[in-house]
A and B are shown apart, each in its own frame.
Chain A
Amino acid sequence: MARIIGGLTTSHIPSIGNATPREDDLRSDPYWKPFFSGYDKAREWLADAKPDVAVVIYNDHGLNFFLDKMPTFAIGAAAEYRNADEGWGIPTIPPFKGIPELSWHIINSLVAEEFDLTMCQEMLVDHGFTVPMSLFWKNNTYGNVLTVPVCINTVQHPNPTPARCYKLGQAIGRAIESWDSELKVVILGTGGMSHQLDGERAGFINKKFDLMCMDKIVNEPEELAKISTRELVRQAGAQGSEFILWLAMRGALSGKVTKIHSNYHIAISNTATGLMVLENAA
């Protein structure tokens, strides 16, 4: 059966998408250094663990989905995924390989468990997906990694609750572990940490709350899943509610979870950045 070897989380701020091609130069820049230097250990872990598949749990910010049809949970089932112009100048990068066989296995398994996903055979992936891939696979060296995009609505309230996202992750974990394959899978949860872009409270960051989340997500994720959407917005900021994507990732790790590495930095753009590498032992 397929094996989930771990989970990775990272912020996916748009400006990082413009910075990653210049990472080597920016490492001496005091603004970027504390951010990029955090990724060395994550890349070392990946180089060692060599996952075959990345299931990427992210949110679309108005590239593939609009308010005319806004799925709560959507999954890609395509052979290839591309990014595109998002309106403010993100570069287009090489396409990502899909693995439709696994996508359909997850779909079949999840719907049987009463998680009724929107199934997408064409799907553009935005910075919520691409920035993490470019960060973990430096210089866009993700060519050998097969991907499954899982998109969770954080654009339009009501968002799915933290508890529901955690349960979705658990169901994804069960699906992958019942897949007849020898492939190794890593789960990405992208976005966060605390930030707010809109309203008079724009610029809000909550270090104490973020650090509590990074602590509890390792061994007490159920505690975090109890938080209401409103409370998450209050504590993490309007867009910090992306933390539900981290919870979905964590739900998929059903074994003994060990923290390998983490990095927290205030700030890139308006956002407190968080990076975690969690290993999942059977």
Chain B
Amino acid sequence: MIKATLSAEHDEAPIPGTYMFDGNAAMKGYALNKMCYSFNNAENRAEFLVDQEAYCRKYGLTALQTKAILEKNVLDMIHNGGNIYYLAKFAGIFHLNVQDVGAQQTGMTVEQFKKFIKSQGEN
């Protein structure tokens, strides 16, 4: 019931492979996204790298969110309320760009993913 009231577009058909970052996701992912938002600051990025698990604890991440962070599993982060704009700041710490992240989520190699992107311009 809560779902229906928090998602403004709950009655529209889902889009496969696509996550609308709505009220439900924003509540679920708040701690995770807040932690990633902190990575705008270089000192925070350094502190995170010293002890990643402790940093996750400091921000109150759930066990599943912490696991996704430690494993650098972007889809799991998204399933646990992560928003890609904040997750990009996490990825940046490890010098992963959006193509690395795209490849990971689609199960392709980065080269395959780049080819796939380019192929969509070839008709």
Contact = CB atoms under 8 A, between A and B. Distances in A.
- Which applies to chain B's interface (DSSP): helix, strand, loop or mixed? helix
B79 to A, nearest CB: 10
Q: Interface size class for chain B?
A: 35 or more
B75 to A, nearest CB: 7
A200 interface: yes
A269 B34 contact: no
A239 to B, nearest CB: 8
Most buried by B among A158, A200, A265, A272: A200
B75 A87 contact: no
Nearest to A15: B97
A205 B8 contact: no
B97 A269 contact: yes
A280 interface: no
Given A199-B105, A202-B105, A272 B92 contact: no
A156 B118 contact: no
B55 interface: no
Interface string B29-60: 01001101101111001000000000000000
A85 B9 contact: no
Contacts of A61: 85, 88
A69 interface: no
B101 A197 contact: yes
Interface string A172-215: 00000000000000000000000011111111111100000000
Contact of A267 (B9, B84, B121): B121
A230 B9 contact: yes
The contact size tier of chain A is 35 or more
Interface in A12-37: 14-15
B37 A66 contact: yes
Interface of A: 14-15, 61-63, 66-68, 84-89, 155-158, 196-207, 228-230, 233-234, 237-239, 265-267, 269-270, 272
Interface of B: 7-9, 12-13, 15-23, 26, 30, 33-34, 36-37, 39-42, 45, 74-75, 78, 83-93, 97-99, 101-102, 105-106, 113, 116-118, 120-121, 123
16 contacts: A62-B40, A67-B33, A86-B40, A87-B90, A155-B83, A157-B20, A197-B88, A198-B87, A200-B105, A202-B105, A204-B17, A206-B120, A230-B20, A234-B15, A266-B121, A269-B97
Given A198-B84, A230-B9, 16 more contacts: A62-B85, A67-B26, A85-B42, A86-B89, A87-B39, A87-B45, A157-B9, A157-B20, A198-B105, A199-B17, A206-B120, A207-B121, A228-B12, A229-B9, A267-B118, A270-B117
